[in-house]
Amino acid sequence: MGKRANNQHATKSAKKTKLEPALACVADVIKQSEQLPEACRAMLVDMLPFSLSIPSDERHETQTWAVQAVEQTLHANKAALEAASAAEDEKLASLKSSEGELGASVAAADAASEAQKVVVQSAESAHAERMEAANVASQALAALQEQQKTCETNLASTKEEKDALEPAYQTHFAAPMQDGAGPHFKELQPFLKKNRYGGFSSQSYTVCLLEV
């Protein structure tokens, strides 16, 4: 008896696994319908060969109920898939929008960076030009200061010569000439010399004119 029962159970299990391809697809969908309890899903899958395989005009009330339950399950699963697809489409659209915004931000940042580089290069060029102008001005100032020192030295030397020549001129040239005597050339000789520029000094030149 027990042996016969085991054989019947094995036969039933084998029958459960032997579904037509169309019914097997429906069974896969039902098995994935998580909105139904697992026991309900298993029951609907077991009832598929005894409901969907029967023509509609030959079904009794229980088979018609099973077909309707399967249909509702398929519709619910379709709605869930459509909702999930819509949600994914919305996510994709949001990602594309974010990608566009990020691309625009990157482009703006690149443009700002390039503009900043131009500003920096322009500032560096202007700074270099100002430094060059400052160096030229500094060199010109140094040359002018050197010329000023030379002029101050020459002026001091000329003043000394003038201060020395005036009394000598009065004593050794003007006074003797007024007395009818000639100039004292020996005393005037130190003033009759060439200046630092290779010619006679202005005082010596004056003496020479007076001598004539």
**Of 81, 97, 113, which closes a domain?**
97
Q: Residue 207 pLDDT more than 70?
A: no
Q: What is the pLDDT of residue 3?
A: 41
> Which tens digits make up the pLDDT trace of 167-198?
877 787 777 778 777 777 777 777 666 444 44
Other beta carbons within 10 Å of 91: 10
Residue 12 lies in a domain: yes
At 42, list the tokens: 């298993």
Q: Identify the pLDDT of residue 202.
A: 47
Q: What is the DSSP string of 66-124?
A: HHHHHHHHHHHHHHHHHHHHHHHHHHHHHHHHHHHHHHHHHHHHHHHHHHHHHHHHHHH
Sorted by sequence, the CB contacts under 8 Å of residue 17 that are 6+ apart come out as none
Tens digits of per-residue pLDDT, 10-69?
344 444 546 678 788 888 888 888 788 888 888 888 888 888 778 888 888 888 898 888
Around Cβ 195, how many Cβ atoms within 10 Å?
16
Residue 140 within a domain: no
Tens digit of each residue's pLDDT (9 = 90 or more) over 125-145: 898 988 888 888 888 888 889
- The answer to whether residue 121 sits within a structural domain is no
Range of the domain at 12: 2-97
Residue 185: inside a domain: yes
Contact criterion met (CB below 8 Å) for 179 and 172: no
In a domain? residue 84: yes
**Residue that is written with structure tokens 């007395």 in the block:** 179
Distant-in-sequence, close-in-space partners of 14: CB < 8 Å, separation ≥ 6: none
* Domain contains 193: yes
Do the domain assignments include residue 171?
Answer: yes
Number of structural domains in the chain: 2
